[in-house]
Amino acid sequence: MFRQLVAGLLMLAAGLGIAVLLQQLPQQVDVVLLVSEAIADLIRGIQQLLEAMLGLAAIVVIASLVILASVLSFGGVWRLIRLVRMLLKRNPQGRR
């Protein structure tokens, strides 16, 4: 019972202390300015995140195009080599 009384009094004192601190806060800090700066920082952070994601997407697209160009080039060279080999193996006597 004594323990509950002490716990209740401590909680009440802490709550009242925080309430007094919050009441004096607007006198020391401009709350509207603080909130507006926090919102502006949040918007700048989101903007930087989106710019970074856009840059990363551009890098992925460029890398994909490089890989696609390489695969198409190597495939084209391979097919041309096969065509030349097929033409060289063809019998000249088979033509009329």
CA atoms within 13 A on the CB side of 95: 4
Q: What's the whole-model pTM score?
A: 0.54
pLDDT value, residue 84: 92
Assess whether pLDDT exceeds 60 at residue 87: yes
pLDDT digits (tens, 9 = 90+) for 35-85: 899 999 999 999 999 999 999 999 999 999 999 999 999 999 999 999 999
CA dist., res. 9 & res. 17, Å (int): 12
Using an 8 Å Cβ cutoff, are 44 and 50 in contact?
Answer: no
Q: What is the DSSP string of 33-81?
A: HHHHHHHHHHHHHHHHHHHHHHHHHHHHHHHHHHHHHHHHHHHHHHHHH
Give the model's confidence band at 94: pLDDT under 50 very low, under 70 low, under 90 confident, else very high.
low
